[in-house]
Structure 1
């Protein structure tokens, strides 16, 4: 029932692309390709299963990852070309060792974050139509939230240079794009949940159940990892983004109002209202 070859193939793609990104950074001294390669790796790694699988669950999951990876990598690369630099990462990328750390983190992010899909490709089980529908619905809402919040912030910054964005979805959460991404990957986890459980074992007992669910348990590391990563960034524990925002927007009314908002997860009704208006 399970075949680990697709998982090995995806892992090899993440290794190769992040190693390529590191080499380009070291040789050229440019970092404009960070998101193009780091985020684009998700799309590249999911294409083989998209093209070769005959399982509708895997095809839907692969298409979902490919669409998201292509969309986000394209947007972030466009933004990098316009802005030329990312002040949050300047210090880290100023040395070869710091650059190596960045690309190592990028590899770990890709490998762990994609577990719901990559582990899902190891099973040929079609999955439950209900969990597929629920998971895809969560994915679609998450993708829409991330896309709209990124677009709103970009437009706001173009029209209001030097101002803190508190427009649209940014008025209900300090980081609505983080929330969208987390919801999206949780949706992909739900989408693949049934395919991650080994139902071939007939022995009883909690240990047998846990062993049969080992892929599902491992796939749960994806949203847990993302929550840890996003919380660390939102609290200023992992990057200097919070400190830089305080220095840049300390007296901005929009920034001061944003401090009263949830850091990541917004009020459900406020979020849905802003998403569909």
Structure 2
């Protein structure tokens, strides 16, 4: 029984930690600073398109947290295993990647010298969207932590990390930002060079 509660406490704590940083801290501070979320500027004039985005986000919350819901409702008492440690390590890696990328971009934007420019330093020199890769990785870690207790229909939780990747790379995250960046810097050779040399999602290995 202790293992069940420990695993549940672990997943719930990881979820709260992520939500506090990503939603309660980083995004809130960004909106306070900018006064808006510019990613939605082109959608706001169109009610149904804007409504669809918010509906997708509601679906995202539900599907992404499936491992947490399942674990919280499970009575399985299997002991903690190496799989739990693997999932936790993936979560820590993904969370650290996301937090670091967010901080680097915030510091870049706060520097007046960089106004109107695109970021290529730090993790942003290894991936054009390292924060989204980090987020995908941490949710994969969450799913892995839940796998020791999954059986039968509960394996539907595998939808969680798959959905996160598809949402961020095909729907609301990367596509919107790539389109905005192309409109802003698409005619610049320096930006085209950055796109050619920097992966869009999975980071490349840093050069030695």
Give the TM-score category using the shorter length.
Answer: 0.7 to 0.9
**In 2: Cα distance, 1:243 partner to 1:96 partner:** 21
Aligned partners of 2:4 and 2:77 also within 8 Å: no
Structure 2, gaps ≥5 residues long: none
Helix, strand or coil: the match of 1:224? Answer: helix
Matched, 1:260 2:197: yes
Q: Deviations over 1:158-216 (max 9, x none)?
A: 1111110111111111111111011100000111111122xxxxxxxxxxxxxx2x212
Q: Which of 154, 160, 168 matches 1:215?
A: 154
Name the structure 2 match of 1:209.
none
Name the structure 1 match of 2:180.
244
Name the structure 2 match of 1:225.
163
Matched, 1:180 2:137: no
Name the structure 2 match of 1:84.
35
Name the structure 2 match of 1:135.
87
Structure 1, gaps ≥5 residues long: 1-52, 198-211
Aligned-CA RMSD value: 2.4
State the Cα distance separating 1:148 from its structure 2 match. 0.2
Q: Which of 49, 56, 60 matches 1:109?
A: 60
State the Cα distance separating 1:262 from its structure 2 match. 1.6
Q: How many residue pairs align between the two structures?
A: 201
Query: Map of 1:1-277 to 2, 5 A cutoff?
Result: 55-73=5-23, 74-127=25-78, 128-159=80-111, 160-197=114-151, 212=152, 214-216=153-155, 218-233=156-171, 236=175, 239=176, 241-250=177-186, 251=188, 253=190, 256-267=193-204, 269-270=205-206
Aligned partners of 1:134 and 1:187 also within 8 Å: yes
Q: Deviations over 1:74-122 (max 9, x none)?
A: 2101101111123321232234434432321111010011112112212
Helix, strand or coil: the match of 1:266? Answer: coil
Q: Structure 2 length as normaliser, TM-score?
A: 0.87
Name the structure 2 match of 1:22.
none
Q: Judging changes above 3 Å, is the alpha-carbon distance between structure 1 residues 153 and 126 closer, same or farther for their aligned structure 2 residues? A: farther
Aligned partners of 1:173 and 1:258 also within 8 Å: no
Name the structure 2 match of 1:27.
none
Q: Judging changes above 3 Å, is the alpha-carbon distance between structure 1 residues 126 and 165 closer, same or farther for their aligned structure 2 residues? A: farther
**In 2: Cα distance, 1:55 partner to 1:187 partner:** 18
Q: Structure 1 length as normaliser, TM-score?
A: 0.66
State the Cα distance separating 1:235 from its structure 2 match. 6.2
Task: Considering Cα pairs closer than 8 Å and 6+ residues apart, tell me whether 1 or 2 has the greater RCO.
Answer: 2
